[in-house]
Amino acid sequence: MNKNEFIRAIANNAGITLKEAGAAYDAFIKAVTDGLKEGEKIQLSGFGTFEVKNKPARERINPLTGEKIHVEATKAPNLKFGKAYKDGINE
């Protein structure tokens, strides 16, 4: 399912127009992104938890040359699905 198909599914499930569903989708993505940028953990009951995980700086090895490469510390978004959601998928 791509973005347009997802927006269409939102519109059908909520009984709203495609324009309204697109606006809701954009607002959801912005709210999650802004919250994560602020360092917040976003918990959606029955679905999962969005959070940012800090990846420390580390040394890696280039497999072609054997040269050591320094990789800077980064922040990575993470989504951990809740038990109820996972159980619902497996029914």
What are the pLDDT tens digits along the chain (91 aa)? 999 999 999 999 999 999 999 999 999 999 999 999 999 999 999 999 999 999 999 999 999 999 999 999 999 999 999 999 999 998 8
pTM: 0.79
pLDDT at 91: 83
| Shared-domain flag, residues 31 and 64 | no
pLDDT at 20: 98
| Shared-domain flag, residues 4 and 33 | yes
pLDDT at 42: 97
User: Rounded to whole angstroms, how far apart are CA atoms 37 and 30?
Assistant: 10
| Shared-domain flag, residues 58 and 21 | no
Contacts 24+ apart (CB under 8 A), 37-45: 45/82
CATH number of the domain at 51, please. Answer: 4.10.520.10
